[in-house]
Chains A and B, each alone.
Chain A
Amino acid sequence: MIETHEEQAQKPSSGEFEREPVPKSVLLGFKSFIGMYAGEHCAGTELMIGPLFVAAGVSAFDVVVGLLVGNALAVVSWLLLCAPIATRVRLTLYYQLEKICGRHLVTLYNLANGVMFCFLAGAMITVSATVLGVWFNFPMPELNDLYPNSIGWVLAVVAVGGLIAIVAAYGYQVVAKFANIAAPWMVLVFLVFGLIGLKQFIDVTNSNITSVGDVWKLAKIHIWKGGEPLPGQVKFTFWHVTFFAWFCNMAMHVGMSDLSVFRFAKKSWYAVASGAGMYVGHFMAWLSASILYAYQLHLDPTDTNVLPGPLAYRAAGLTGLICVIIAGWTTANPTIYRAGLAFQAIVPKWSRFTVTLITGAIATIAGMFPAIAMKLLGFVALYGMLLMPMGAVVFVDFWLIKRFGLQSNYAESSKKHFNLAAGLTWFITLGACWWLVWTGRIEIYFVSLPGWFFAAVLYIVLSFLYQKKLKAN
């Protein structure tokens, strides 16, 4: 899901290219990006999102067509917004932002990003910890639980989270290599989840399947039935699914985090490779996981718990459990590492080891609270919304600002540490979006679309006032 390909592409920059354009000699081919995106978007959290769609009462048409359209829009966002800038300036997002916003504002951005990464890693730890519940049979969180509900659960999260944090601190690179090895296997296990789940539905409903039309009928009547969501869940329509699929990686494409990835691409059209991740992870994997949960509900409508461990075990036995552990572990590992990198930019004197351990501890504590995983749809939308305004700032600064007679990369040229126009754009946009959501005028899943245009216009207006004022001074 919200994933880790940035980390892979950042590896070559760990000692180089962090504050300079990537040279032509190290540019990567198209295939590199296909593998990177396909593997990275099959994460442990996919096993939460698919079931949560079912809990949200999606219908078959809404989920299938919504995902097709929403994922296409996500690919287009990478292709038209992020990659063209990345392949022209070939800088990391952080350095690009520093030139525009100044070091102090980038520090704030890092803090926000790091905190969100911690929560995200917490959700991944939650997913992996559900595996232990299969073996040790302790009470696990329910769909509407916000707080840890048993000592067994807390101990399971501490064990899994602690292990992930220690490994991330000691041997991030080893786990990253292991993740590469596991990726093709994991993608196919996700596919197997769907195939087995489908067969179980056919058997339990005594359906006679002789054509694709019969499968669609089964899907409409028994799997994604539509109707009311489960208690405590928001009803998902076609538009919810479309916007969720589009914006769940908003921080990466519209928010421009993947400038750090595509600065290594020879051509900007390589961004179509993101489609591999979208249609493998955010289509096939989500649908597969949702079939498993729909089957659980079909067998016992009162069993509404979204627990990836038991779901995977019922479908694929031990292989399913291994898949859940690896999916959670290999994606939590770089997420914790990335959060650590973001925090280390704030406290550079602390060692990478210490920062990663502390970050892992925060993520582990977050993982104890099932609220993040069980409300993952809303959390992911919030994550995108939080970083979206800075993506608009980067876009406007690169393409538009000079057309208004204004200076691009203003912090760099004026030697300011805090570009007030960019900072205010971020805060005011977030405030406006939050107000719209809080007052019920628009749902969080949709607010980032008008929010982006608002931020873009606001940045131009504020830059006009700010740059004029400074020039006058």
Chain B
Amino acid sequence: MIKQITQIVSWLCLIVLVVPSVLFLTGKLPSLDQVKLIMLITTVVWFVSTPLWMWKEKGQ
């Protein structure tokens, strides 16, 4: 169950990583600083959540 949750979080991270820059490109998110902040938070979450399932999986 925890593995599934962390997997979902990881996939969401990948989406959230790209969406702000797409919104920035289309002009719907005007501030580049906001994009950078969201990306940084997403990066931290990715590197916390992904090893929880991928590290073990790769090690098996």
Contact = CB atoms under 8 A, between A and B. Distances in A.
Interface of B is mostly: helix
Nearest to A173: B59
B18 interface: yes
Nearest to B39: A319
B21 A181 contact: no
B53 to A, nearest CB: 10
Interface of A is mostly: helix
Interface in A145-168: none
A198 B27 CA distance: 12
B12 interface: no
A181 B54 contact: yes
Interface string B31-42: 011011101101
Nearest to B43: A319
A188 B22 contact: no
A45 to B, nearest CB: 21
A268 B46 CA distance: 35
Nearest to B50: A181
Interface in A177-204: 177, 180-182, 184-185, 188-189, 191-192, 195-196, 198-199, 202
Interface string A298-326: 00000000000000000011110010000
Contacts of B54: 180-181
A181 B55 CA distance: 7
A295 to B, nearest CB: 12
Interface of A: 177, 180-182, 184-185, 188-189, 191-192, 195-196, 198-199, 202, 316-319, 322
Shortest 6 CB-CB distances between A and B: which pairs?
A317-B36, A319-B39, A195-B21, A192-B21, A199-B25, A195-B25
Given A185-B46, A199-B21, 11 more contacts: A177-B59, A181-B50, A181-B55, A185-B14, A188-B14, A189-B17, A196-B24, A199-B24, A317-B36, A317-B40, A319-B43
